[in-house]
Amino acid sequence: MTETRPNVSTLDPEQLRTLFLFEALNDEQLNFLSERGEVRTFDAGVMVFREGEPADCLYLLLDGGLQMLRRVGAEDIVINETSMRGVYSGAIRAFMDDPSDTYPNSIRTTMASSFYRLPASDFSSLMHTWFPMAVHLLDGIYIGVRNTEAQVRQREHLAHLGVLSANLAHELNNPAAATVRATAQLRQRFATIRHKLSFLAAGDFDTAVMGKLIALQDGAVEKSARVRTELTPVQESDLEDELGEHLDELGVHAAYELAATLAAAGMDVDWIDQVNDVVGPEGISSALRWLADTLDAEALMDELEDASNRISTMVAAVKQYSHMDEASYSELDLHPGLDATVVMLGFKLAGVEVVREYDHDLPKVPVYGAELNQVWTNLIDNAADAMKGEGTLTLRTRRDGEWAVVEVSDNGPGIPADVRDRIFDPFFTTKPPGEGSGLGLDSARRIVVKRHHGRMEVESSDAGTTFSVYLPLAR
């Protein structure tokens, strides 16, 4: 596992010419490379350079074999292996105006191997001196592609923001409109209640009768607030008919209109008879309408409470989704972020059944919360598109050794086999023109791999697709 360096540290120009990267160079250029470069020999299993170290040299394989590795979490993953003479790696962008300051990957020998090594500064000098046009062209292409990708990514983020904003506006508009409507109706009901109360007070009801009426009112309100067995439309219609017929027999005006309110509140024939026993036939109509208006007002207040809670839930989801008032990098429970994303995409998931299979023993994970929610947004949004708004979305969490795993599954038609290897490629999309930039999954994988040192896997068949996100539990 040690590096050995031979006495002869240079290559003859003619030997350099046998490398495909240098075969078209003239004698002066080859002499320059011979003078500035050196040969280094490594035993098998040696790291020639490591990802993240200063990119100070260009390496070309002379003999032997190598593996190219990328760091994923706590392990190095082999992404390429070769013994082809002349393959190069290291500071390959040293000549550009915006070079990479560190090695983007690691190189490890698979057998005793020799490399021609050229300092990055000499490689840059050679390119600028003899190939200035190539430098400008490559620099322009690299910067152009990078800027284009940045702009498209920005558009992708804005598109997601637009979807989330539209969904948020829709979800907030419904309870807000319900609040306005219920408030207006409640104002009318209280005006009617005041009028009926004055009418009752002016009648023949003494204090004892009024006390019994108020007790019946309190009991009715308490009964209407209890959780009752949901009636089918037919059962509810039968109850309204039963109450309407009984009210009609008692001589109550507009009996069937009143029956609908009493049935919705859970009142029955026995309760109507209790009111009749207290006030008698002369006061039954006024008393029931006063009590019905009270029940109607209670129902409207329940509607106001429900609408307010929905608004509060949406605001809490926005705060959870954006991780306002929290450090950008911290240890978090993954489940609230998943739930917040479902709420944010609620409009798009209106016809989708969301199944949660959470491992609540999963420890907190060190993550960039807001960025990770972008990953969930991409995966859940893609799942909804795959199912065309109808199907089952399964969110599953589990622990796999030192990894926290989040799985997003749909029961859509699956990803076609001929494109599965390309779904993470930038700008690749299976959506129609104008509906996707092809950067959603690329951005998601970048966040998982680059920012969190995790990995992302996908399994797909005709029965559906599952994306698995692996996040290290340790910082």
Confidence of residue 228 (pLDDT cuts 50, 70, 90): low
Q: Which amino acid is present at 418?
A: D
Whether the CB-CB separation of 362 and 334 falls below 8 Å is answered with yes
Confidence of residue 434 (pLDDT cuts 50, 70, 90): very low
Q: What is the largest CA-CA distance in the chain?
A: 122
Interhelix angle 334-344/132-201, nearest 10 degrees: 80
Estimate to the nearest angstrom the gap between the alpha carbon of 380 and the chain centroid.
6
In this prediction, residues 63-74 reach a mean pLDDT of 81
Give the Cα separation of 69 and 51 in Å (integer): 8
Residues 385-424 pLDDT 10s:
889 888 999 999 999 999 999 999 999 888 888 777 777 7
pLDDT, mean over the chain: 79
Domains of the chain by range and CATH?
3-130 (2.60.120.10), 165-315 (no CATH), 327-472 (3.30.565.10)
Nearest C-alpha neighbor of 115 from the set 173, 39, 227: 39
The whole-number pLDDT of residue 12 equals: 84
Residues 280-331 pLDDT 10s:
787 788 778 777 877 877 777 777 777 777 676 666 666 666 555 555 678 8
**Cα atoms found within 13 Å of the Cα of residue 175, Cβ hemisphere only:** 18
Strand, helix or coil for residue 231: coil
Confidence of residue 8 (pLDDT cuts 50, 70, 90): very low
Give Cα separations from 398 to 76, 158, 240, 466, 475 (angstroms). Answer: 23, 32, 50, 14, 18
Residues 322-367 pLDDT 10s:
555 555 678 889 998 898 888 878 778 888 999 999 999 999 998 8
Whether the CB-CB separation of 41 and 113 falls below 8 Å is answered with yes
Model confidence at 222: pLDDT above 50: yes
Give the Cα separation of 285 and 292 in Å (integer): 10
Which two structure tokens, joined as six digits, stand for 317?
A: 């989801």
Long-range contacts, stretch 182-185, CB < 8 angstroms, 24+ apart: 182/300, 182/301, 182/303, 182/304, 182/307, 183/304, 185/300
Residues 162-215 pLDDT 10s:
666 666 666 666 667 777 777 777 777 776 666 666 655 555 566 677 777 778
Residue 468 sits at φ, ψ, to 5 deg, of -115, 125
The whole-number pLDDT of residue 7 equals: 37
- In the chain, % helix, strand, coil (3-state, to 5) comes to 50, 20, 30
Give Cα separations from 147 to 99, 178, 374, 428 (angstroms). Answer: 15, 46, 21, 17
The whole-number pLDDT of residue 400 equals: 92
The whole-number pLDDT of residue 204 equals: 58
Residues 83-94 pLDDT 10s:
999 998 888 777
Whether the CB-CB separation of 259 and 247 falls below 8 Å is answered with yes
Long-range contacts, stretch 278-282, CB < 8 angstroms, 24+ apart: 278/209, 278/212, 278/213, 278/216, 279/205, 279/209, 279/213, 281/250, 281/251, 282/204
Give the Cα separation of 55 and 41 in Å (integer): 19
Nearest C-alpha neighbor of 336 from the set 353, 319, 351, 348: 319
In this prediction, residues 450-465 reach a mean pLDDT of 88
Give this prediction's pTM.
Answer: 0.45
Give the Cα separation of 108 and 380 in Å (integer): 38
Nearest C-alpha neighbor of 464 from the set 372, 338, 352, 346: 352
Does residue 434 or residue 344 have the better pLDDT?
Answer: 344
Give the Cα separation of 39 and 394 in Å (integer): 55
Model confidence at 266: pLDDT above 90: no
Whether the CB-CB separation of 66 and 48 falls below 8 Å is answered with yes
The whole-number pLDDT of residue 236 equals: 79
Give Cα separations from 465 to 39, 346, 352, 413 (angstroms). Answer: 49, 20, 15, 8
Q: How far apart are the first and last CA of the chain?
A: 29
Confidence of residue 221 (pLDDT cuts 50, 70, 90): confident
